């Protein structure tokens, strides 16, 4: 089975990259949505806050979570098919992907809190947290392409 899948390795890799792009696009935009949502909550603009919440939910359900799921499935398949488990770069990459998945979960949780009117972070903090996915994806791409160890 693994040998048969090996013939499709490049197709699996292409699909993995496409879903990484989808996931990262959503991971870049959701924190911006959270900033606008939070500002609406703080200002007491309940209709606008509800609209931001609806946008966040659609983004999560239509793009973000399905893309993350496919990234994990395809990534693990590539690791098995390519027999990369003993390579240090993959271990480091997995740590970063787990961290991005945790960030994904945090962002979903914070969106739900905002939906209940709970504001826990400053706008500045949210703006700074917005940069974490970019840093993570830069490091992941370097590990996957350069394979430094």
pLDDT digits 0-9 by tens, 84-119: 999 999 999 999 999 999 999 999 999 999 999 999
Which pLDDT score is estimated for 7? 81
**Long-range contacts of residues 90-96, Cβ cutoff 8 Å, at least 24 apart:** 90/143, 92/143, 92/149, 93/140, 93/143, 93/144, 96/136, 96/139, 96/140, 96/143
Backbone phi, psi, residue 131, to 5°? -85, -15
Q: Consult the annotation and say whether 147 binds a ligand.
A: no
Rounded percentage of the chain residues whose pLDDT exceeds 90: 95
Percent of the chain with pLDDT strictly greater than 70: 98
State the sign of the Cα–Cα–Cα–Cα dihedral 30, 32, 38, 43: negative
Closest among 4, 22, 14 to 104, alpha carbons compared: 22
Measure CA 6 to chain center.
Answer: 27
Q: Is 93 annotated as a binding residue?
A: yes
* Confidence band of 14 (pLDDT split at 50, 70, 90): very high
- 119, two tokens: 């504001």
Interatomic CA distance for residues 133 and 107, integer angstroms: 11
Measured CA to CA, the distance from residue 59 to residue 149 in angstroms comes to: 36
The answer on pLDDT for 3 being more than 80 is no
């Amino acid at each position: 089975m693994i040998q048969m899948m090996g013939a499709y390795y490049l197709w699996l890799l292409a699909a993995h990259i496409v879903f990484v792009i989808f996931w990262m696009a959503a991971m870049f935009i959701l924190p911006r949505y959270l900033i606008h949502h939070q500002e609406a909550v703080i200002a007491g603009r309940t209709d606008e806050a509800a609209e931001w919440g609806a946008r966040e939910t659609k983004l999560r359900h239509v793009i973000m979570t399905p893309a993350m799921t496919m990234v994990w499935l395809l990534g693990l398949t590539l690791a098995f098919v390519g027999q990369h488990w003993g390579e240090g770069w993959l271990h480091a990459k997995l740590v970063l992907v787990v961290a991005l998945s945790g960030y994904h979960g945090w962002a979903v949780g914070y969106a739900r809190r905002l939906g209940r009117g709970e504001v826990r972070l400053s706008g500045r903090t949210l703006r700074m947290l917005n940069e974490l996915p970019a840093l993570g994806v830069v490091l992941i791409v370097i590990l996957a392409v350069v394979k430094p160890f």
